[in-house]
Amino acid sequence: MAVSSPDLKAFLLATPFFGGLSDTSLDLLLSMLVERRVQAGQIVVAEGDPGRSMFVVHSGELEVRRQGHSGELIHTADLGPGDFFGEMTLIQMQNRSATVTATTPAVLYELTAKNLYAYYKADMPAYIIVLQNVNRELCRRLRRADERVAELLHQLRQ
């Protein structure tokens, strides 16, 4: 179902994905979101599956895991309210890079590639802001990953 509520609007404005949008632009994007409720243990997206949408976490906790070279699942991140995931498939148009599983019941808001394209057609300046927000978050994640790799390499050399 599509969503709209003042509380949700305030919540979304405080997340990295929606920052800087005008009320009108945010209302349009809000009208394109679909609420998804998931139970603890439910897989939201699976590594390798086609991805045509991204999700914003409104409530609950989720874990991100990737399959290692030897087949084991490696925990890479925890997600909670305000986090978003799945955006890479919208930018890169490739399959899901990880599996995301709810560790508690969660409420997510889904934005499909089709709706993001409609947003682009309807409000290009706001679309650019959204892409800048996504890029900023991807850069933050890359910096954290670089720090972890550097720390692991440091530990291996000792």
Is 122 in contact with 53 (CB distance < 8 Å)? no
Inform me whether the pLDDT recorded for 31 exceeds 70: yes
Burial (Cβ within 10 Å: 0-12, 13-18, ≥19) of residue 150: exposed
pLDDT tens digits, one per residue of 34-89 = 999 999 999 999 999 998 999 999 999 999 999 988 888 899 999 999 998 998 88
Both tokens of 32, joined, read 């394109």
Give the separation between CA 141 and CA 138, rounded to whole angstroms: 5
pLDDT value at residue 1: 43
Quote the pTM value: 0.85
What is the average pLDDT score of the chain?
90
Contact predicate 99/65, CB 8 Å:
yes
Task: Reply yes or no on whether the pLDDT at 4 is more than 70.
Answer: no
pLDDT exceeds cutoff 80 at 2: no
Local confidence band at 14 (pLDDT 50, 70, 90 cut-offs): confident
- Chain segment 112-153, per-residue pLDDT in tens: 999 999 999 999 999 999 989 888 888 888 898 888 889 888
Q: What are phi and psi for residue 86, nearest 5 degrees?
A: 95, -5
Angle at 98 between CA 145 and CA 14, to 5 degrees: 65
Angstrom distance (rounded) from CA 156 to CA 150: 10
pLDDT at 156: 86
